[in-house]
Every structure is written in structure tokens, then in C-alpha cells.
Structure 1
């Protein structure tokens, strides 16, 4: 089995793609003409980061779910990006419209981490790479 992709369910796929470009420098790889599905370039081989609108997601899953942008609290999952300069990445994301949750801090194991919440509700960790 191979990990293929992460799908983030959002209200506006185009807005999320534009935000991820501004905040994290992840360019749009693909946006379906319907606007219901899109992907960003992640720089990684294989696995994709994609966005799906709520109507399409609910139709696919055939159940309702907690929409991240409708929840006061972040959902119990995150997307993590390894970066060389966590402070610069954090500042860029906040300037682009992310909500600051946890400023950069160096953990006891030596990794620097910070957390932001995107306008679509997605929780993002910005961190230095481990080992």
C-alpha cells in the first residue's frame, strides 16, 4: 500500500488554492473546471495535497462531517510542512491571512515548530525537518 493523497474539504477550493500559494508558496497544480477539486504542488514525490468542496465531499463520503471552517476549534488533524526558517514561514502565513495559534518554539528534541490555522479551517504545522 502507498500513501497517495490528503484531501481537505473546504467551502471554496479556488480560495484555498490561492491562500496556500500566498501563505506557503504552494502553486496550484490543477483546478477542475467545476471548481470542486484542486491540487497544489508540494515538492514531494508521489503524495498529493488536494482540496474538495463540501458538496462533492459529502456526496462521495455519503455522510455529513464537521467542516473545519465551521468549527471554533481546529479538527484533530494537521498538515505539516518542513521548512528551513520556521519564523519566516510563520510570518508569511500570518501575513497572508492565517490565524496565529502557536508561535515558533524549539522543542526539547531540537525541532522548531509553529502552528497556524488557515481561513478554510485547516490546521498547519510549520517545522524544521527531523534527522
Structure 2
């Protein structure tokens, strides 16, 4: 078994794809003609977005939508890069909420945190 997708439920799929393109440089891999599902070109594991409308009809139980004004949910997307400082600035310039400026951790990793406009907590970190 392997991790195939990480899917984030958002109000507007195209807006999410565009934000991640501007903020992190990810290309759009796919956007369904309905606009209810799209994927980024993120490597072996896809990061995808589904509209709340599609989520409500496809997920067999109700879920709680992310609220960008509430504390972040207890998970993060961690993006690894060799240019943490520059990528943190790019993300903030694209509309991400800065949470923690780039800094060095005791284990040797450089990290920072932002939050996307939809409420997702994102770590920007150097590879381990």
C-alpha cells in the first residue's frame, strides 16, 4: 500500500490550484470540467482539491469544513525545499498567512509555517 492522494476540501477548486501555483510553483496537473476536482503536479503523492459540493455528495459522512479564521486543524502539508526563506516570502506574497518566520531547529532543519487562504497549515522545510 502507498499514499496516493491528499485531498483538501475547499470552496473553490480553481482558486486553490491558482494559489498553490503562485505561492509554491506547483503546476496544475488536472482540473475536471465541472470545476469540482483538481490536482497539482506534486510528485509521487498527489495533492488534490475537491469542492465542498462534491465532498458533500461523495463522502459518506458529514465533515467539518476548514475555517481560516479558526485555529488550524491538527494536520499540516509539509513542503520541502532548499530555499526555505525565499519560498516563505513567495508564499506570503501570494496571500498565505505567515505563522512562523524561517528558523533553524535543533535537529538541523530550517522550517517556517504559513496558512493558505482556505485554512490549511503548511510547513515549508529543508529536506532532512
- Determine if the TM-score, normalized by the shorter chain, exceeds 0.5: yes
Per the normalisation by structure 1, the TM-score is 0.93
Give the CA deviation at 1:69: 3.1
Matches within 5 A, 1:38-53: 38-42=38-42, 44=43, 46-53=44-51
Match of 2:90 in 1: 92
1: CA distance, partners of 2:70 / 2:95: 17
Is 1:32 matched up with 2:27? no
2: CA distance, partners of 1:39 / 1:114: 24
Please give the root-mean-square deviation of Cα atoms over the aligned residues, in Å: 1.1
Match of 1:13 in 2: 13
2: CA distance, partners of 1:94 / 1:70: 15
Unaligned runs of 5+ in 2: none
In structure 2, relative to structure 1, the CA distance for the partners of 1:71 and 1:64 (3 Å cut) is: farther
Unaligned runs of 5+ in 1: none
1:45-89 C-alpha deviation (Å, 9 max, x unpaired): x31110000111122212222211355111111111101111100
SS at match of 2:111: strand
Is 1:2 matched up with 2:16? no
1: CA distance, partners of 2:68 / 2:58: 20
Match of 1:79 in 2: 77
